[in-house]
Amino acid sequence: MDQRGSGPAAPGLRRRVQRHSVRRFDVRRFGVRGSGGRRFGVLRCGDDRPVAERVTVDGMSLTTSSTSAAAAPEAVRRAALLAALDVVDGGPEERFGRITRIAREAFGVSGSFLNLAGESELTIKSQQSDRAFGPTVPLQDTFCGRTLGEVGPVVVEDATADVRYADMPMVVDDPNVRFYAGVPLRLGDDDLKVGTLCLVDPTPRMLDDDDLALLEELGVWAERELAAGADEERLRAVLAGLEPVPVTLPGYRIGGMSVPHGVVSGDLHEWHRSGDDLVLTLADVMGKGMSAGLLAANIRGALLARGDDRPADAVAALEAQVGPELSRAESFATLFHGRLAPATGHLDFADAGHGLVLHLRADGSEDVLRSFDLPLGLHPVGLGRTAGALDLGVGDVLVLVSDGALELWDSTLGSLSRLGALYRGCADIDDFLGRVRARAAEHDPGDDLTVVVVARDA
């Protein structure tokens, strides 16, 4: 195990390096701020203070006592919360690895760990150590497990001198831990303690107030990363609610998929019935991520409010509403918006700079519906939109895609023909969409990917 800094002159030198490292890293650059005014007392094990601690929480003085493990109901709640976050079984993640790397370098210790406590096991989510541990260990065999009942940070200067920790395997045997410092990681409305960010070293040592403040800020960063997982899950749930609901259209099959490049997609696809007709939309907002997703959601809502309008009228009204927002965001959006009469297969549409619709005919021929207009946000104010129309015959198929589909092959419009060939070789729409997903998994498009299919069978 790493024994860095154990020489006589090393501690002072290491402390000077730590000060420089702390300034260099400056965790506030990563969006970490204070802990909201919540400042807990520190339990420094091995000193002569009693186990009962005097702590301050939002200006109120409270007395708490140590417990060897959390009460069973709390352990169940803790495990349930971690399961909801879906972080325990996901393996190492760089967002946590950055935190533990900074902690190890800034404090010059042999190991730094981000641990998550379940009902009876501790999961090491991220570790920086010469020796790899875990990924799970019995909770009661760890410092983190034995300090779950503590309110605030815990500092153990020499574990061999403290009867509460001296018998632990990691103290008695390799890696012969002497020093431990951990800050709690809390989540949920009731600040439930779900784990710790901690430091260990085989040499006894102390932390001053500045050291502890840095460790606490790193802990706040870790809490926010954990909470971000919950936010992403909520966001995914919201986005799932924006997916079009299945529709039944006699004589037709309709299906689609969207794969965001990140958590949020700047693509949108929508279909719904309007009387006997089918209204069909696919749009692609420039960029990726949250801003593109918000603009796409706004476009979707504005179009749904105009669901009964002719496509050209709906797009003109949409432009007047969202054009200024797109300009302020220095963005634009391509859009295909059409209205299909099922009885005849006649489709009226407006295409705002999209031009990524493939018409596969039953006789084996194909066409790409080209766009002659500029995208939303770039089209000259007051200039009308070009109206388009086509007839979808029996056996014909429309394949609408965002530009991420082009990146599945050579980034040119020739990719549409390859997509069409892929469709013709599939048993049905679900088979086709599954193969597109597989292609995207093998050849990352580096962009949001959306595909919509409308097939006429009768």
**pLDDT 10s digit of each residue in the chain, 458 long?**
333 333 322 333 233 334 333 333 333 333 333 333 344 456 665 443 333 333 332 333 323 333 333 345 677 777 777 776 667 776 778 889 999 999 999 999 999 999 999 888 888 999 999 888 878 888 888 898 888 878 889 999 999 998 888 998 889 988 899 999 999 999 876 788 899 999 999 999 999 999 999 999 999 999 988 877 666 666 566 666 678 999 999 999 999 999 988 777 889 999 999 999 999 999 999 987 777 888 898 899 899 999 889 999 999 999 999 988 898 888 999 999 999 999 999 999 999 999 999 999 999 999 999 898 999 999 887 788 889 999 999 999 999 999 999 999 999 999 999 999 999 999 999 999 999 999 999 999 999 999 999 999 99
Per the CB < 8 A criterion, the answer to whether 222 and 114 are in contact is: yes
Three-state secondary structure call for residue 182: strand
- Tell me the torsion sign for CA atoms 262, 264, 266, 269: positive
Q: Within 389-428, where are the H helices? A: 414-424
Backbone angles phi and psi of 308, in degrees to 5: -95, -5
Residues 366 and 398: their CA atoms lie apart, in Å, by 10
The half-sphere exposure of 330 on its side-chain side, counting CA atoms within 13 A, is 0
Q: Is the CB of residue 177 less than 8 Å from the CB of residue 166?
A: no
List the beta bridge partners of residue 272.
279
- What is the distance between the alpha carbons of residues 450 and 266, in angstroms, rounded to a whole number? 10
Going by their DSSP bridges, the two strands 179-187 and 154-156 should be labelled as antiparallel
12-36 burial, b for 16+ CB within 10 Å, e for fewer? eebbeebeebbeebebeeeebeebe
Query: Rounded to an integer, what distance in angstroms lies between the CA atom of residue 222 and that of residue 101?
Result: 12
- At 425 the three-state DSSP class reads coil
Mapped onto helix, strand or coil, the DSSP state of residue 119 is coil
Neighbours of 163 (CB within 10 A): 8
Q: Which amino acid is at 37?
A: G
Q: Cα separation of 117 and 184, whole Å?
A: 11
The pTM assigned to this predicted structure is 0.56
Element (H, E) at 321: helix 311-328
